[in-house]
Every structure is written in C-alpha cells, then in structure tokens.
Chains A and B, each alone.
Chain A
C-alpha cells in the first residue's frame, strides 16, 4: 500500500535554485516590512488626528487588511487592477499585497503601543522645555519601539510565510515559485515541498534569533 520511493537526489540538485528563490522570498518580505512600518506609522498618525477623512481612510485600511484573507488581497491587486487596465508585475502585486496586510496589522500594534506609554511621560518631557516633536522622538518612540518589537518580529515571520502566495499570481522566482516549477516538471511533490518547508522554517527561525540578539543590544532596561 505504500510503494512510493523517495528521490531526494533531485531535490538536492535543485537546492542552489531554491536557495536563490529563498533570497528573493526574504528580500520581498523585508521590503514589505520596511514599507509596512512606514505606512503603519502614517496610519497611526491619521487615526490619532482630527481630520475625519484621514481617520476614516486609516480605519478602513486597517479593518480590511485584518479581516480579509491575504490571498484575496494579493489576487485583487493583480487580477482586479488588471481588469481596470492597470497591469502590474506578479512580484509587485505580491509586495503590495503583503505591504497592505503588514501596514494594517502593524498600525493596530502601534496604537496599542502608544496607549502603553503613559501620558505623564510626554508631560514630563514637555515640562523640561522639549518641543512636542522632541518629546515624541526622544521619549515616546524609544519606549514604543520596545513594546512593539516582538509583534514586529512576528509580523516579519508572517510576511515571509505570506510571500508563498505569490505563486497564485504567477510569481516563479521566489522559494515557492521555484519549488512549484520543479514540482510541475518532476512530480516529486513531497521532496521539493518538504525541502522548501525546511528552508522557510530556517528563515523564520533566523529572523527570531536575530531579533533576540538585537533586542539585547537595543533594550538595556
């Protein structure tokens, strides 16, 4: 009943290609985090602000990003925009989709983090003659960074795993794309995807490890 013979040699031979794919995966995730953090900060500011249009825009973004499947978010960006005549590359659709998702989740984290830094810290900073901008930059943000650091790490791992969705919009040079290409050619599904899973696992673990080392250096208190 179990007469499948494993062929790991084929998978090992594909390893260099898959590692190149893993790099694309990591790069895409890292980029989506950089943009995600910037947009999340803007969304957080918009939501704190007085302008009802901006507040509504931010609330809608966060709400949609967190309550719809990330698969759909990428799909709509690729095929949905395509049907309006706006054609973007597979890679761009993936990057934009994950960035959209990251920004929504991170904005929510930042809001919680801001609440966790007491108002009295701002007050004490202002009482020493600091401008509002200085007080945020020197007192509030450093404390906020520590509070959101682990959620940020989680989101980075999540972003790496989400890049595997690129295959549904035709991306073929990231880790999943490369793996899928080999799978289609050889039908060694188990071997290739098991190897790819190991690589995803290692990337995720490496991110957590680097984050831990970073947090030792950054947060001395």
Chain B
C-alpha cells in the first residue's frame, strides 16, 4: 500500500504540491489527471524518492520513503517507474538493458537474469529485438522495453509518468495495450496520464489534480463520467 499524507513540495520559491493525501491499495490502479504544472508528475517522483519532499510523509508498505534511515535503493527495487522519455540505456542492447538491474542490484545469475529478461521482453512483444541497440527501435518499442526493464525487477508497484506523451500518435496504442495487460494481471499501478479514455477503462480510481492539490477523486464513472466540480468539467472539456 502507498500512503501519501499531506505532502508538500516546492522547487525553490515555487510550491508545486500543497498538501496532497492519497492512498493506493494493493492491486489498485489509480490514474492522476490534470493540467501541466499541477504537480502530478512531481508527486510520482516523490513516491520512489527521486524527488525530495518538503513536509508530510509517503509510506510504501509501511516504510517511510523520505526518512533518513531508509534504504532507498532497496525500496526502489519494488517500485518500478516508466518515464515519459523512456530513458533507454543507449550503450546496451535491449536484452542487456533489461538484464542489468536484476544482475547488479538483485545479484541474480546471468542465466536467471537472461531468462527473466527474455520472458518480460516477450511479454511486451519485443522477443525479436533482443540483440538490437535501443537507437534502432521506435519510440513505442523503446517505451515497451522500458516497461520490461522495470518489470524484470519483479516490482510490487508500477508508476507511469505520462508514458505515452512523447510518442507519435500511431505508437500510443501498443504501449497502452501493454499497460492494460499489466493492469489486468493485478499489478498495483499509479498512472499520470493524458489518455482520459484509457484512464477511464483501466482505473479503479481517478484523481484530478489542480494547483498542487487533489481537486476531485473517485471512480472513473464519477470523476470522468459525471464530474462535480466546475474545474474538472472545464479540464475534461479542454482536452476532448
């Protein structure tokens, strides 16, 4: 379970998160929607400690993410994240990209790591690209590789930071399909997304962020199908 409690975060003078509380239960898929600058991506980065917080607390399975004594590397092993700009490691092949962390972080044998990597890459439909360097892949393929790379660590949680925003429109579908598959398999997921229809389909709950706060939260049918607050209605209108 991810428990976010009254979190504040600022970049210098700029307050980006102003007291967000959110709970994500095991097996739940929560989507975060909202305009740019609303703090949704930053919150995601705070969950696995890639960004620090100013006050409040974030706990993952009861472990305080931002406490000084926390072994953050250990904690990150169970929180996979997929970035908007996929961030493939260009000097490693697709297979090596996915094998690296299980070998070096989890200490798996080469054979075990390779087996796991091939399994995950097959899962995302890249079984025929094992020996290829990421530079030769399309954006969609690189993003699916990034998903496989995160999954190879056998995480309990997956965070998606606008995973399809940087992709050409015709490549969005393949990445969303991969994410949908993951949701159906019961992975606990937090998605920051602009794909409203997708969010409505796969999410258990949807949170609308505005000015660094959770403005409206509920089931997809409530927040997207029948929003109550005028700002939510405006936002949904603006992106349709």
Contact residues of A between 68 and 96, Cβ < 8 Å to B: none
Is the C-beta of A64 less than 8 angstroms from some C-beta in chain B?
Answer: no
Q: Which of B76, B85, B91, B105 has the most CB of A within 10 A?
A: B91
Q: Is A212 an interface residue (CB 8 A)?
A: no
CB distance from B160 to the nearest CB of A (A): 12
Interface residues on B, range: 20 to 34
CA distance A146 to B101 in the complex (A): 22
The distance in angstroms between the C-alpha atoms of A86 and B81, with both chains bound, is 58
CB pair B89 A127 closer than 8 Å: no
Q: Which residues of A contact B104 (CB under 8 A)?
A: 130, 134, 138
Decide yes or no: A120 and B153 within 8 Å by CB, A126-B76, A128-B101 being known contacts. Answer: no
Is B170 among interface residues, defined by CB-CB distance under 8 A? no
Determine the chain B residues whose CB is within 8 A of the CB of A124 once the complex forms. Answer: 83, 87, 89, 146
Check if A131 is an interface residue, CB within 8 A of chain B. Answer: yes
In contact, B89 and A131 (Cβ under 8 angstroms):
no
| B residues near A127, Cβ cutoff 8 Å | 48, 50, 76, 80-81, 83, 150
B191 to chain A, nearest CB (A): 16
How many angstroms from the CA of A128 to the CA of B146 in the assembled complex? 11
Contact: B153 with A128, CB < 8 Å? Answer: yes
**A131 CA to B90 CA in the complex, in Å?**
20
Q: State whether the Cβ of A139 lies closer than 8 Å to any Cβ in chain B.
A: yes
The answer to whether B63 has its CB under 8 Å from any CB of chain A is no
Distance (whole angstroms) from the CB of B87 to the closest CB of chain A: 4
B74 at the interface (CB under 8 A from A): yes
The residues in A between 113 and 170 inclusive whose CB is less than 8 angstroms from any CB of B are 120-121, 123-131, 134, 138-139, 142-143, 146
Which B-chain residue is minimally distant from A123 (CB atoms)? Answer: B50
Q: How far is the CA of A221 from the CA of B77 in the complex (A)?
A: 28
> Does chain A have a CB within 8 A of B173?
no
- Residue numbers in A under 8 Å from B90 (CB-CB): 143, 221
| CB <8 Å contact, B73 and A130 | yes
B133-A220 in contact (CB<8A): yes
Q: Is the C-beta of B135 less than 8 angstroms from some C-beta in chain A? A: yes
* Residues of chain B within 8 A of A131, CB atoms compared: 73
Contact of A142 among B91, B135, B153 (CB under 8 A): B91
Complex Cα spacing A139 to B134, Å: 14
> Does B100 belong to the interface (CB within 8 Å)?
yes
Is B210 interfacial (CB-CB < 8 Å)? no
Task: Give the docked Cα–Cα distance between A37 and B149 (Å).
Answer: 33
With a cutoff of 8 Å between Cβ atoms, the chain B residues found around residue A123 in the complex are 50, 83, 87
B residues 88-114 in Cβ contact with A at 8 Å: 89-91, 100-101, 104-106
In the complex, what residues of A have CB within 8 A of residue B77's CB?
129
Across the A-B interface, the 4 shortest Cβ-Cβ residue pairs: A124-B87, A128-B101, A221-B133, A129-B77
Could you write out 17 A-B pairs with CB less than 8 Å apart? A123-B50, A124-B146, A127-B50, A127-B80, A127-B83, A128-B105, A128-B149, A128-B150, A129-B76, A130-B101, A130-B104, A131-B73, A138-B100, A143-B90, A220-B91, A220-B133, A221-B133
Known A-B contacts: A128-B105, A129-B76. Give 14 more (CB < 8 A). Answer: A120-B83, A120-B85, A123-B50, A124-B89, A125-B89, A126-B50, A126-B73, A127-B81, A128-B101, A129-B77, A129-B105, A129-B106, A130-B101, A143-B90
